[in-house]
Structure 1
Amino acid sequence: MTMKVLYGANPDDIKAFDTQRLRREFLVSNLFMPDAVSFTYTHVDRLILGGAMPMTGSVSFGSGADIGTPFLLSAREMGIANLGGTGTATVDGKSFVLENRDVLYVGRGAQEVVVASHAADKPARFYMNSVPAGADLPHRLVKKAEAKAIELGDAKRSNRRRLAMYIHPEVMPSCLLLMGITDLAEGSAWNTMPPHVHERRMEAYCYFDMAPEDRIVHLMGQPEETRHLIVADGDAVLSPAWSIHMGAGTGPYAFVWGMTGENQEYNDVTPVALAELK
């Protein structure tokens, strides 16, 4: 298990960032390496995101040495989304089978998580979001069919999409973590329209189900001072509360969104008119 640390940035700072610095501070790549577990700890609301792609056997994590606690989840909760083939996640001896687009909620206090794929030629890709938690809630697997789905957007504006809520007060209550998956309709390219910021929550995106040659142009930054990142399949982007988070792809894609902050009010956002972007 590896743990990279990112410290976040003030919105005034990124005005001077070149492409390499912007990617270093806000883009997380190489999440899904064969038979490995990698985590990134960001000081932006202390979110930890990670990835694992077991192929030849199982891989495990749980040590809290990198964050100063007995176990990684001693004071944290976690969501685990499977973005690949069928796999199993075992939490302190209790096993859960995750098919594609299933999400497992792991409550505070878990000591060891072991993940494995059912077939090496179709490996599971486990994507994790973890945030500090102040309550003990039971582990629970949320199947794709159990998520609360909302249809959004307009095909004429190329932003038709299906947003599925998994870790959410209306589906699987948590302490502070929100997590879901958005799939774009065929022919649509834009996500998260209209753009917005949410001052009381940060967000992380993990883009997946992309062809190797395709890319996402992810827009970030303050509305009046935007920046962009070019994102590949399996990459994740950190979005501080002061930043917009929207993008368009050169081909089909989906993304996992995870949020944490002061509340779990999904509609606690400040919309930004497209004409205000600069």
Structure 2
Amino acid sequence: MIEVRYGSGPETISRLSTEELRATFLIEQLFAVDEMRLVYTHVDRMIIGGCRPVRKTVEFGEGAPIGTPYLLSYREMGIANLGGPGRIEVDGKSFDLASRDILYVGRGAQRLKLSSADAANPARFYVNSVPSQVDYPHRLITRDESKLLELGSDRNSNKRSLRMYIHPEVAPSALLLMGITDLAHGSAWNTMPPHLHERRMEAYVYFDLAPEDRVIHLMGRPEETRHLVVADGDAVLSPAWSIHMGAGTGPYAFVWGMTGENQEYTDVDPVPVATLR
């Protein structure tokens, strides 16, 4: 089964309670043990998923819940490993993923098998999948093969390293973009300054947080912001009409995934912080 989220428009967000806001945009405790948890959002039809194979291999790929022969009959997928060493088998072909490697799985894949090399240090697989009408081959993108961008500054407490993995400059895809951002020691703010990109939605999963720490994820229209309090392993849906920025109470990292009308990473509309309400 796949959980379905229908999303919400900017005209309704002001009326949502804290619990309603979280139920609409926050996916808590995504990384289930020994099973794949999948969430289908009607926001650009992205599928988000997570699992931690500990005692057994996790298999998935059934398409019946979305009305297709296989889950990836007309979709592409990125799978990031955020834990210990793991293996992904796609229709009999195996890929070994170290921490912070990402596997691109092309359209038409039928069966996927996910496993950990060590049950005491299990892999933590995070999934983004979007519709595709183009065939690209499966490809493992290691951390060293990603494109590194150094952003932010110490003065603004937003110094960070952004790595592009599934991106036209690194590994091609139909519409999916995917990468990982790490905050520098002493920095707290991510994705600063805030911005909108009307032509693309985005999803995040926050990880490497201590159990006692949280990220305060700001969202909503610039003139009417809201916030989500996010724990380690929680994912956030960010529609195109919403800003997205956040600050953590301790060290953290996040995976960002995007889809929409284009793959232009710089196609954004910045929002001055002084105008936020």
TM-score, normalization: structure 1?
A: 0.99
Q: Does 1:48 align with 2:47?
A: yes
Deviations 1:221-261 (A, max 9, x none): 00001000000000000000000010000000000000000
Distance 2:208 2:158 in 1: 17
Instruction: Tell me the CA shift for residue 156 of structure 1.
Output: 1.2
Distance 2:262 2:56 in 1: 39
Aligned to 1:190: 189
Distance 2:149 2:33 in 1: 34
The 5 A counterparts of 1:1-278 are: 2-278=1-277
Distance 1:76 1:87 in 2: 23
Q: How many residues align?
A: 277
Deviations 1:175-205 (A, max 9, x none): 0000000000000000000000000000001
Deviations 1:76-101 (A, max 9, x none): 00000000000000000000000000
Aligned residue type for 1:218: H
Identity %: 67
Distance 1:196 1:83 in 2: 26
Aligned residue type for 1:3: I
Distance 2:122 2:275 in 1: 43
Aligned residue type for 1:128: V
Instruction: Tell me the CA shift for residue 30 of structure 1.
Output: 2.0
Deviations 1:140-162 (A, max 9, x none): 00000000000000111100000
TM-score, normalization: structure 2?
A: 0.99
Aligned residue type for 1:5: V
Aligned residue type for 1:32: F
Distance 2:266 2:28 in 1: 29
Aligned residue type for 2:29: N
* RMSD of Structure 2 on Structure 1 (CA): 0.5
Runs of 4+ in 1 over 2 A off after TM superposition: none
Distance 2:67 2:154 in 1: 48
Aligned residue type for 2:208: D
Distance 1:215 1:163 in 2: 20
Instruction: Tell me the CA shift for residue 3 of structure 1.
Output: 1.0
Aligned residue type for 1:191: N
Distance 1:63 1:30 in 2: 22
